[in-house]
Amino acid sequence: MPWEKVREHRFENLIALCPTCHTRYDLSKDMDRLAMQQYKINLGVLNDRYGPLELQALNWLADDPTRERVAIPRGMIWAFGNLVTDGLVEFDENPPTWATVNDGTVSVSYLLPTDLGRDAAMRIREGRPIDELS
C-alpha cells in the first residue's frame, strides 16, 4: 500500500521502483496491487538465484526476442552457470570467434537461449510469474 495510507516501513510493504513504475502504481493506477506483488516475488526469485551478469543476459534477450545469441568473453561461463544449469541458455564455444572491443581483440563464446530461456526473459519483462522456471 502507498506510504500515505499505511505510514509504516515494513518489508512486506516496501519495494524499490523506478520513477515510471512509481507513477504507474501510485498516480495513474494502471498497475494494480497484484501486479506489484508479483513484481516483488519475481525480484526475490531472480536475485536469490542469478547474478548481475546473468540478469543482464536475460534482459538482453528480452530486449530483442529474435536475438539468437549473447556473446560473452571466452572463459566466462562460470558467471552464467545458473542460467545453464536451469536450462535457460546453452553454452557454445565452438568454434571460438573473435570480436573487437575497444580497439582490442577478444575471444568470445556464446550463450544460446533455449525456448525456456526466451519464455523466462519475456515473463520477467512482462511481470508474469517466474517462480516455476527452475
Q: Give the domain CATH number at 71.
A: 3.30.1370
Omega before 95 within 30 of 0, i.e. cis:
yes
Does an H or E element contain 63, and which?
helix 52-63
pLDDT the model gives residue 113? 92
- Bridge partners of 15? none
> pLDDT over 70 for what percent of the chain?
84
CA angle 31, 121, 117 (to 5 degrees): 150
pLDDT score at 4: 72
C-alpha cell at 129: 510469474
Q: Are strands 89-101 and 104-113 parallel, antiparallel or unpaired?
A: antiparallel
φ and ψ at residue 113, rounded to 5 degrees = -70, 140
Question: Mean pLDDT across the stretch 105-125?
Answer: 85
- Per-residue pLDDT tens over the stretch 38-48: 777 777 777 77
Q: Would residue 36 count as lying in a domain?
A: no
Could you report the per-residue pLDDT of 30-81, keeping only the tens digit for each? 777 777 777 777 777 777 788 889 988 888 888 888 888 888 888 888 999 9
Asked whether residue 61 is assigned to any structural domain, the reply reads: yes
Q: Is 113 domain-assigned?
A: yes
pLDDT tens readout for residues 83-96 = 999 999 998 867 66
Identify the pLDDT of residue 1: 63
More confident residue, 116 or 22: 116
Number of domains in the chain: 1
Residue 131 pLDDT level (bands cut at 50, 70, 90): low
- Band of residue 99 on the pLDDT scale cut at 50, 70, 90: low
Half-sphere CA count of 11, side-chain side, radius 13 A = 2
The pLDDT value recorded for residue 100 is 65
Q: 91, 80 in Cβ contact below 8 A? A: yes
Residue in the block written with cell 493506477: 29
For the entire predicted model, the pTM comes to 0.67
pLDDT at 101: 64
> What is the C-alpha separation between 123 and 134, in angstroms, rounded?
13
Look up the domain containing 99 and give its range.
51-126
Q: Is residue 92 part of a domain?
A: yes
